Amino acid sequence: MSALSKTLDLDLREARWNEFVATVRPRLTPETRLAEREVLAPKTTMRVGGPARVYAEPATTEELRQLLVEANHRGLPVFLLGRGSNLIIPDEGVDGLVICLAHESWQKFEVRTGGQVWAGAGLRLKNLCGLATKAGLKGFEFLEGIPGSVGGALRMNAGAMGGWMFDVVEEVHLLSLAGELRVMNKSEMHVDYRHCAELHDAIALGALLKPAAIAESGDIRRQIDVYQKKRVESQPREPSAGCIFKNPPGASAGRLIDELGLKGTRVGDAEVSPVHANFIVNRGHATSADIIRLIRQIRARVKSARGIDLEPEVLLYGQEWRDVL
Ligand code: EPU
């Protein structure tokens, strides 16, 4: 592509974004936040990355729909941001509409008559656990230490302590990028280790969850404390994106990386955690370029020493890992 056509392309793209903002802004209530070039790093647990071209915190499903439909109509990419705990934002930012369900309307926790729990996509897993404990509902304890939201946990089928998000799901309410609302039973969904196919091109609005049993709050709390102790002992405190790689079949990525002596390896301020080798921690001023270089080094070592291709678990916002690694 010549320099001139590249500039024209960028101008066209910019015109589309301006048109998008000019079209949607008058349709949004003051409750909805819409911002241009919003810095994303502070909204993530890794604390790296550039701005979102457009950022929105819709207050209602209808406003969310407006944003999706108008972006989709103009061929502008849309990304969901939960608690930002499982992703790396590129240093150059994201040329997309980044939507975050941070408004309180997405944080509902309601115990239904059948004993199920409605959890909004924006509800933090920690709060879900706390509220369920208070209500004497057992089965959500494993989620307590995951620094994510219900929506993100559904998207990734997040897991810890031997449990997976979809273990406790009955149905998911989702909105397609074309703005269509769907209610899906868990049995209709294609869910796997750290993966939910239906949420690749749709947004979870919330889910109906099924507690395992009714129990004394004190008993539930004790189980949470056991998990918390295990986590504090085995996972780092510094900013990170959780585990970087998926565990390969029958093995532990953390143990593999550890056995190769890579703990403490650094690129800039990105470091393989000395506590858990499947975590990369930000020692202060890491960039996403540092993290990507470190990921490449780890993969190369594991490949040459063990013949295993480690696959990232974290998302690289707006890009595909296969294009970068
Ligand atoms: N190990 C090492 N060295 C290390 C790290 C781990 O030898 O540096 C060993 C441990 O001693 C243990 C085994 O490897 O024997 C497995 O380690 P761990 O129990 O920490 O579990 P993991 O498979 O590394 C998974 C999830 C975590 C989740 C924990 C606890 C993945 C990729 N990771 O870690 O999830 O918190 O179990 O249940 O599935 C995440 O998804 O971001 C995440 C942190």
95-124: per-residue pLDDT in tens?
Answer: 999 999 999 999 999 999 888 999 999 999
Q: Burial letters for 294-317: b for 16+ Cβ neighbours within 10 Å, e otherwise?
A: bbeebbebbeeeeeeebebbbbbb
* Residue range 75-84: mean pLDDT, rounded: 95
Closest residue CA from atom 43 of ligand 1: 243
* Domain range 3-99, CATH class: alpha beta
| pLDDT attached to residue 19 | 98
186: left (phi over 0), alpha (psi -120 to 50) or beta: alpha
Q: Could you tell me the pLDDT band of residue 1, with boundaries at 50, 70 and 90?
A: low
Are the CB atoms for 88 and 241 separated by under 8 Å?
A: yes
Are the CB atoms for 155 and 146 separated by under 8 Å?
A: no
Give residue 86 CA to ligand 1 midpoint distance, Å. 15
Q: Give every CB contact of residue 303 below 8 A, 6+ residues apart in sequence.
A: 309, 310
Closest ligand 1 atom to residue 253 Cα is 24
Beta carbons within 10 angstroms of residue 8's beta carbon? 12
CATH node for 236-323: 3.90.78.10
Kindly state if the Cβ of 255 falls inside 6 Å of ligand 1.
yes
Kindly state if the Cβ of 311 falls inside 6 Å of ligand 1.
no
232-249: per-residue pLDDT in tens?
Answer: 999 999 999 999 999 999
For tokens 């969850």, name the residue: 209
Closest residue CA from atom 20 of ligand 1: 234
198-207: per-residue pLDDT in tens?
Answer: 999 999 999 9
Closest residue CA from atom 9 of ligand 1: 255
Burial bucket for residue 190 (CB in 10 Å: 0-12, 13-18, 19+): exposed
Residues carrying CATH 3.30.465.10, the chain:
107-218
Q: Give every CB contact of residue 248 below 8 A, 6+ residues apart in sequence.
A: 256, 308, 309, 310, 311
Given a cut of 80, whether residue 2 has pLDDT beyond it is no
Give residue 178 CA to ligand 1 midpoint distance, Å. 38
Kindly state if the Cβ of 149 falls inside 6 Å of ligand 1.
no
Closest residue CA from atom 26 of ligand 1: 160
| pLDDT attached to residue 305 | 98
Given a cut of 70, whether residue 159 has pLDDT beyond it is yes
Kindly state if the Cβ of 230 falls inside 6 Å of ligand 1.
no
The third-level CATH classification (topology) of the domain covering 107-218 is 3.30.465
In order of 118, 131, 174, 208, the CA distances from 112 in angstroms are 7, 14, 19, 9
Q: Mutate which of 87, 276, 298, 311 to test ligand 1's pocket (most atoms within 8 Å of Cβ)?
A: 276
Average pLDDT, the chain: 96
Closest ligand 1 atom to residue 230 Cα is 30
Residues carrying CATH 3.30.43.10, the chain:
3-99
Kindly state if the Cβ of 258 falls inside 6 Å of ligand 1.
yes
In order of 109, 126, 165, 215, 218, the CA distances from 134 in angstroms are 12, 12, 20, 10, 9
Kindly state if the Cβ of 273 falls inside 6 Å of ligand 1.
no
In order of 10, 15, 221, 231, the CA distances from 228 in angstroms are 48, 49, 10, 5
Kindly state if the Cβ of 246 falls inside 6 Å of ligand 1.
yes
| pLDDT attached to residue 6 | 75
Q: Which residues pair with 88 in a beta bridge?
A: 316
| pLDDT attached to residue 7 | 77
Residues carrying CATH 3.90.78.10, the chain:
236-323
User: Which residue type sits at 131?
Assistant: L
Kindly state if the Cβ of 29 falls inside 6 Å of ligand 1.
no
Main-chain dihedrals φ then ψ at residue 194, nearest 5 degrees = 55, 40
Torsion of CA 299, 305, 306, 309, to 10 degrees: 20
d(CA 246, CA 249): 9
d(CA 238, CA 235): 9
Give residue 102 CA to ligand 1 midpoint distance, Å. 29
Q: Could you tell me the pLDDT band of residue 3, with boundaries at 50, 70 and 90?
A: confident
Torsion of CA 125, 291, 48, 36, to 10 degrees: -100
User: Which residue type sits at 182?
Assistant: R
Are the CB atoms for 45 and 241 separated by under 8 Å?
A: yes
Are the CB atoms for 270 and 280 separated by under 8 Å?
A: yes
Closest residue CA from atom 12 of ligand 1: 255
32-65: per-residue pLDDT in tens?
Answer: 999 999 999 999 999 999 999 999 999 999 999 9
Q: Could you tell me the pLDDT band of residue 5, with boundaries at 50, 70 and 90?
A: confident
Beta carbons within 10 angstroms of residue 283's beta carbon? 15
